[in-house]
Amino acid sequence: MFNQDITPYQNLSILILVSFAFQSILMPLLLSEIDGPVGWMTIIIAAVVLYFSLKPINKLLLKYKEDSFLSISNKIFPRLISRAIGIYYIIMFLIANSILMKDFAEQIKLMMLFRTPLGSIIIVILLTASYATKKGIKTIANISSITVLIAFIPYIFIMIFSTYYADYSNVFPIYPADVEGVLKSVPGAILGFFGFTILLFSNSKVTVQENNRSINKKFILFSTILYVACYLMIIVKFGIKESVHLVWPFISVMKYVNIPGFFFESTEIVGLCFQIIVTFSCICIIAYFTNIAMQETFKTREDGFFIYMQIPILYFMAAVLPGMYMMFPYIQWPIIILSGLNLLIPLIAALVDAKFKKVKNN
Amino acid sequence: MKSIKILFITIITSIVLTGCWDSVEINKREYIFAVGIDKNAKNLTFTSEIPKINEGSEEQRLVYTKDCINFADFYATSYLHSEKVISDRLMQVIVLGEDLARDSEAVKRIFDEIQRSPQMNRRVKICIAKGKAQDIINTEIPHNPIVGRFLSEMLIKLKRESYQDIYTFDEAILDLGKTGNAMIPVVEINDKSLKVERAGVFKEYELIGFLEPEEVSSIMVLLNPSKATIRNVNITVEDTNVSLGAVDITMTKKMDLSNDKLKVDYYVTLYSYIDSFIIGSNKLEDQSYLNKIKEEATKNILMVSKKTLDKLQNSYRADLLKIKEDLYKYHKQDYEKIADKYDEIFEAADINIHLDMVIKSTGLVK
Amino acid sequence: MGIYQNLTNINVDIDLKKNETILKEVFKDANDIIFRNMKVGQHKKLNILIFYVDGMTTKDSISEYAIQTLMESINLESLKKDSGKELQNEILNSNIAITELGTVQTLQECVDKALSGETILFIETCSKAVWLSSRGWQIRGIQEPAAETLIRGARDGFIETMKVNITLIRRRIRDPKLKVKYMQVGRRSKTDITLLYIEDIVNKTVLDEVEKRINNIDIEAVLESSYIEELIEDDTYSPFPQIENTERPDAAASALLEGRVVIAVDNTPTVLMAPATFISFMQSSEDYYERWMLSCLIRMIRYIALPIVMLLPALYVAVVQFHPNMLPTQLALYVAASRANVPFPPYFEALLMELVMELVREASIRITTPVGSTIGLVSGLVIGSASVEAGLITPIAVIIVALTGLASFAIPSYNFSTSLRMIRFGFIVIASFFGLFGISIGLCILIIHLCTLKSFGVPYLTPMTHFVERRSDLKDTVIRPKIYNLVRKPAYLQVEKEKGK
């Protein structure tokens, strides 16, 4: 409690939160690429893939207890490759964060502040997030824990009340399933489990590392449940034909929430307020781990000041990048590449490490 | 460190101070409660109803009528014609004029605009005006001067009691997307007030005809038996007028699609009670007389249903029973083969209703 | 000052005259210092000097049990040799019928003892002076604390005398493990401070931290426990209090039993309790005296009051200025109508009324007690209704401000609710810029701040920040479990024990 590390369950909440944010961003992909309401199969396939790849990765991480993935890769790979891996993660985190921020700022602009310039919304979010990032991992872990507590409870209410006038038969037809579509969208679903990448960095910060494996398993489990629940909620509410058109399915669901006798008329604004807190914690988390990645790639002692470098980069990237929904036609390949790399890099590292060990033993 | 903090604070304050882009006070806005859209020679005519904001006294309203191309144009024009900021965020009802509803292009454009708008509530109620929407909006209802509220409350009630299938724009667009057909309530002028009895049949975003109240109710029984309310069945048995009311309806559905031949069977059980008979007669104690009542009533109800089905299959070719959706959900493989020519299949479909009537009670007296 | 500082190096002289001269120099122009030269012993041959502060000593006991016996002792004169060591022992051991006494070496110690109410006895030929416990002054009776009244529960409250306060706590916990550690703070005020804790349940890390911080205090004077609070808290820039305070002995005792450290400061009726968390400020001792179901309800009401205090005026501003569509249609029309003739923008209206509210609150404290509350109420009502009639503000704003004020009194801890009230103004301002988005961002900043905040190493938001690991602590937060289930101590204070397992 008094040290600077995070507890296993705080780690869990970090992983679930980050995954949740990316899952809701990537949800339209899942809805539109598959013919029929069987996207949950994709999610489960993705979860199973991740579940089995956790074992070697956890073994590797547990071996080098104090090190995050990048310093492990420094040890087992030649310098050039480990640098490249570091830079890959930095760029990936930056892109992911700016997409998250952009998408989110646009939701706020459309739903709440129609005439406020996007730039100022982004900068407000960014500055607030960087304030938290500067405070370090402990604060961020606390924030994500609190966020899970205070934001998911309203989400559960939203889920419950959104079923008003919903048609449960919308989950059919299950058979025959669109196998091709299901398989094609697996990379997108894998990318949705963004916590899988974060755990490479966050596991080393946990106090009791022996439990990491079970915690990571729990993360995959809870995240899958959450993802499937959200998916089914959207399907049940809109039916597959309508959900294909939605840009932000989750926000659209909130627009329809019908809480009997609820004081506020536009529930989506209230929902968005909680969404702000969730997304905001995700931005903090990713920004912090970008800092860590930068620190370990450039081998500096401190990580806090990297946030000052990140602010302008993130701001310009968020301002320049088009919104996620504009990119959907073009992101088929990038998603396959990104999710492939995210999955393969740690696996290869684990493999190389295992080989090394054998050679040494012989 | 300190200088960075000062820099941060300066940036934040300067951003914030240039802010308040969206701040418009509540009393500086005008709220459209209802909008009626009609087609004119060139464009559309928007008739909007805005409740007057005045303290305490009785409710008053303003009605604006403008010729515009679409909603956005309408707001832009209204913006220039009023000292207040016009807002559609509290919009209750959209009334589509009959002429407009018959023009599928125009309907598509309007629906798209509502669907796309982040501000407009998708749960805004929707109905079709028999005649011109402008007249509906202009109706002065003595006890509830604000037409938007009147219609909104009316439609909510009808949906809750399952008199109508659809009450919001949201449902209309979902139905039209899923099956291509929808049944949208029709509002008519009734003396000094308004009434919603009938429903308009929409096919591919086009109004193709109307359904009479009893037709609507027999469709509602097949769509939503657990909630549906059957209005009294009035029959004459052996020269005595008998009125029956329904307590409960149960239904099972069987669907069969083979060789491009669709066969749908509805097995409906209607539990009813005697609403009115005649004093002094004890015929109701006679089981055979009750059977006669049943027979007559069944015949009566089936006649209406047959007529309705016939209208749907042959005149409108509109599948308002959502059979298409069920086929897609439960018989996907068979459905995919015939998806393109579904209308013909539906037209030729063999739809049967098997009605079983049970008289549960004869009321408080024998 | 010069002589005063040097006193630490000056030992008590065997010559009484010399001592007297120095002390008289030190206490020049202090007329409440009494010096009394007298001769004692059977033959009245032994010179002694008595020195005390008038008003702080119980003269009766000194004259009755000390001076009188000295005057009548037989063998004093005979022992007057060898730098008076035997004489001194004789006096200490057998001649004075006072339970608490001792010797002091330097004049500085003499001065310190005298100023805390003891009587100093200088004896001819002795190189040490004897102090006799004679503290005694007028004290306030034990009364019910005004700020923390309860329907049910003990009616006694702490008073300004620390020793009495410690007694009040001792009476509740008759455990030898209850430790009472004296300390002194303040270069000039020399204020006594007591650290109370129960040895086997206190968190050692917290205790050491508290002790270290108190020892590090370098200040001229401590006049109230708030001085200590401000000097030892973790983050002075935070609007939130990080140390709890109470005037109720039962609350202090329950804090001790939870494993917390209680800091009592002399001359202050409020004791400090550390560490404090967000949750502990929302608990009232009455929660445990009422039936548990009722307490659950009351606690939940408090947690509803919390966002009302912080956010309600800001929400009003956000809704009226930015998102009127959030209101039900009827209400939106009503609000719009009532705002039609108001000249101020909503944020100004809210700020104005909140300011008036604070004004009334502050004024009613200053007005003499019997009429204070009445005048506060009346002025609030009159100003409210008059300004609505004058068209300065809307009735809704009055309702909102009144609700906020009411809710702020539902928070049991006064200083905590004050912080919330302060934050409220920030929220109004940010809401007037960005509406609900601003409020959410404000909440985010607040959460960040609270997540960073610690009270003596314990995270402020425990157990919410560790809600899985500390789920047993969550039981006593929004609801109040049955006493039977409460036997466990809060886990966040139990680090030492956990390690020991």
The DSSP code sequence of C248-284 is -HHHHHHHHHHT-EEEEETT-S-EEEES--HHHHT--
- State the pLDDT at residue C1: 44
Report chain C residues whose CB lies below 8 A from the CB of A143.
447-448, 451
- The yes-or-no verdict on residue C500 having pLDDT over 50 is no
Query: Of all helices (H) and strands (E), which one includes residue C245?
Result: strand C244-246
Instruction: Indicate whether C348 and C377 sit together in one domain.
Output: yes
> Phi, psi (5° rounding) for residue C294?
-60, -40
Q: How are beta strands B125-129 and B181-190 bridged, if at all?
A: parallel
Instruction: Report the half-sphere exposure of A354 (CA within 13 A, side-chain side).
Output: 12
Question: Residue C497 domain-assigned?
Answer: no
Q: What is the pLDDT of residue C498?
A: 41
Among residues B217, B212, B220, which one has the least CA distance to residue B231? B217
| C186 plus C320 within the same structural domain | no
Collect all residues with Cβ–Cβ distance below 8 Å to B63 and sequence separation of at least 6: B47, B48, B49, B50, B137, B138
Please say whether the dihedral angle defined by the alpha carbons of residues A16, A19, A21 and A25, taken in this order, is positive or negative: negative
Give the whole-number percent of chain A exceeding pLDDT 90.
10
Whether this model's pTM surpasses 0.90: no
For helices A39-63 and A8-33, the axis angle rounded to 10 degrees is 150
What is the per-residue pLDDT for A339? Answer: 87
Two tokens, residue B156: 């909510």
What is the dihedral sign for C-alpha A24, A30, A36, A37?
negative
Task: Report the residue of chain A nearest B15, measured CA to CA.
Answer: A120
Interchain contact, A149 vs C327, CB within 8 Å: no
* Mean pLDDT across B203-215: 88
More confident site: C449 or C486 = C449
Q: Determine the structural domain holding residue C224 and report its residue range.
A: 162-276
Task: Enumerate the H helices of B130-210 as residue ranges.
Answer: 133-138, 147-160, 169-178
Contact between C168 and C142 under an 8 Å Cβ cutoff? The reply is yes
Kindly state whether residues C314 and C346 are assigned to the same domain.
yes
Whether residues C448 and C312 share a domain: the answer is yes
Enumerate residues 6+ apart whose C-beta is below 8 A from B366: B282, B284, B285
- Dump pLDDT digits (tens) for C335-389: 888 888 888 888 888 898 888 888 888 887 787 766 767 777 777 778 888 888 8
Which chain A residue has its CA at the smallest distance from C205's CA? A2
Asked if pLDDT for residue C48 goes beyond 90, the answer is no
Residues C82 and C194 in one domain: no
pLDDT category, C4, cuts 50, 70, 90? low
Ranges of each domain in chain A: 8-321
Whether residues B33 and C329 touch (CB distance < 8 A) is answered with yes
Q: Which residues of chain C lie closer than 8 angstroms to A108, CB-CB? A: 437
Distance CA A270, CA C437 (A): 10
Chain A's closest residue to B328, CA to CA, is A173
- A131/C445 Cβ within 8 A: yes
Partner C contacted by A112 (CB < 8 A): yes
What is the per-residue pLDDT for B86? 83
C412 inside domain: yes
Nearest CA in chain C to B17: C433
Q: Which residues of B touch A (CB under 8 A)?
A: 4, 8, 11-12, 15, 18-19, 21-22, 89-90, 118-119, 121-123, 170-171, 173-174, 177-178, 326, 328-330, 332-333
| Long-range contacts of the stretch C359-362 (C-beta < 8 A, 24+) | C361/C405
Tokens read off for A292: 């860590």
Token duo for residue A53: 């790849």
Domain count, chain C: 3
Q: Which residues make Cβ contacts (< 8 Å) with residue C260, sequence separation at least 6?
A: C197, C202, C206, C273, C274, C275, C493
DSSP string, A13-37: HHHHHHHHHHHHHHHHHHHHHSSSS
> Looking at the structure, do residues C103 and C25 belong to the same domain, yes or no?
yes
Q: Check CB contact of A285 with chain C, cutoff 8 Å.
A: no
Instruction: Return d(Cα B97, Cα B120) in angstroms, integer.
Output: 20
Q: Does A110 touch chain C if contact means CB atoms closer than 8 Å?
A: no
Structural Rg of chain B based on CA atoms: 26
CATH number for A8-321 (one of 3.40.50.1370, 1.20.120.1200, 3.10.20.90, 1.20.1740.10): it is 1.20.1740.10
- Interface mutation target, options C323, C326, C329, chain B, most CBs of B under 10 Å: C329
The string of pLDDT tens digits covering residues C172-199 is 999 899 999 999 998 888 899 999 999 8
pLDDT class for C58, splitting at 50, 70, 90? Answer: confident
Measure B232 CA to nearest chain A CA, in Å. Answer: 27
pLDDT of C265 over the 90 cut:
yes
Query: What are the tens digits of pLDDT across the range B274-326?
Result: 888 888 777 777 888 888 888 888 888 888 888 888 888 888 888 888 888 88
Q: Are C323 and C455 found together in one domain?
A: yes
**Among all chains, which residue has been given the structure tokens 């009755």?**
C64
Same domain? C111 vs C169:
no
Q: Print pLDDT tens along chain A (362 aa).
A: 345 678 888 889 999 999 998 888 888 888 888 877 888 889 999 999 999 888 888 888 888 877 788 888 888 888 888 889 999 999 999 988 988 888 888 888 888 887 888 888 888 888 888 888 888 888 899 899 888 888 878 778 877 877 777 778 888 777 777 888 888 888 888 988 988 888 888 888 888 888 888 889 999 999 999 899 888 888 888 888 778 888 888 887 877 776 766 666 677 788 888 888 888 899 999 999 998 888 888 888 777 788 888 888 888 888 887 776 677 777 778 888 888 888 888 888 888 888 776 655 55
My answer on whether C268 and C349 are in the same domain is no
- Contact between B12 and A110 using a beta-carbon 8 Å cutoff: no
Sign of the dihedral defined by the CA atoms of residues C229, C230, C235, C240, in that order: positive
State residue B119 phi and psi, 5-degree precision.
-85, -45
Band the pLDDT of C497: cuts 50, 70, 90.
Answer: very low
ipTM of the complex: 0.89
Chain A residues whose CB is inside 8 A of the C451 CB are 132, 135, 139, 142-143, 146
How many angstroms away from the CA of C115 is the closest CA of chain A?
Answer: 42
Going across the sheet that includes B350-361, the strands are: B233-237, B240-258, B261-276, B350-361
- Do C69 and C117 share a domain, yes or no? yes
- Of A117, A175, A239, which has the smallest distance from its Cβ to B178's Cβ? A239
Q: What is the mean pLDDT of residues C49-58?
A: 86
Task: Count CA atoms within 13 Å of residue C98 on its CB side.
Answer: 28
A280 touches chain C (CB under 8 A): yes
Chain B residues whose beta carbon lies within 8 Å of the beta carbon of residue A256:
122-123, 170
User: Does C453 lie in the same domain as C405?
Assistant: yes
C89 lies in a domain? Answer: yes
3.40.640.10, 3.30.300.210, 3.40.190.10, 3.40.50.2300: which CATH number matches B216-361?
3.30.300.210
Q: Which long-range contacts (CB under 8 A, 24 or more apart) does A77-83 make?
A: A77/A349, A77/A352, A83/A297
* Nearest beta carbon to residue B118 from set A111, A116, A258: A111
Q: Are C460 and C278 in contact (CB under 8 A)?
A: yes
Q: What is the pLDDT of residues A226-255, one digit of tens each?
A: 899 888 888 888 888 778 888 888 887 877
The count of other CB atoms within 10 Å of the CB of residue A142 is 29
Q: Do C437 and A147 touch (CB under 8 A)?
A: no
The residue of chain C nearest to residue B152, with distances taken between CA atoms, is C329
Asked if B11 and A123 come within 8 Å (Cβ–Cβ), the reply is yes
Chain A positions in Cβ-Cβ contact with residue B89 (cut-off 8 Å): 266
Sequence-distant (≥ 6) Cβ neighbours of residue B175 within 8 angstroms: B165, B166, B181, B182, B183, B322
Q: What average pLDDT does chain C have?
A: 84
User: Are C107 and C10 spatial neighbours (Cβ–Cβ below 8 Å)?
Assistant: yes
Q: B327, B329, B331, B337: best mutation site toward chain A, by most A Cβ within 10 Å? A: B329
* Cβ contact C337–B25 (<8 Å): no
User: What is the C-alpha to C-alpha distance for residues B50 and B147, in angstroms, rounded to an integer?
Assistant: 10
Segment C26-54 mean pLDDT: 84
With cut-offs at 50, 70 and 90, classify the pLDDT of residue C81. low
- Is C354 among the domain residues? yes
Most confident of the following: A67-81, C64-78, C121-135, C419-433: C419-433
- Residue C448 with chain A: CB contacts under 8 Å: 128, 131-132, 135, 139, 143
Do A59 and A266 touch, CB atoms closer than 8 A? no
Q: Is residue C476 part of a domain?
A: no
Within a domain: C394 = yes
Q: How many CB atoms lie within 10 A of CB A337?
A: 11
Cα separation, A221 vs A213, in Å, equals: 12
Residue in this structure with the two tokens 């063998």, named with its chain if needed: C75
Q: For chain C, which residues lie within 8 Å of any Cβ of chain A, measuring from their own Cβ?
A: 205, 322-323, 325-329, 332, 434-437, 439-441, 443-445, 447-448, 451-452, 457-459, 461-462, 464-469, 492, 495
Token couple for C147: 């700020």
Distance to chain A for B243, nearest Cα, Å: 33
Per the CB < 8 A criterion, the answer to whether C121 and C130 are in contact is: yes
pLDDT tens-digit profile of B61-98? 888 888 888 888 888 888 888 888 888 778 889 999 98
Which pLDDT score, from 0 to 100, does residue A1 have? Answer: 38
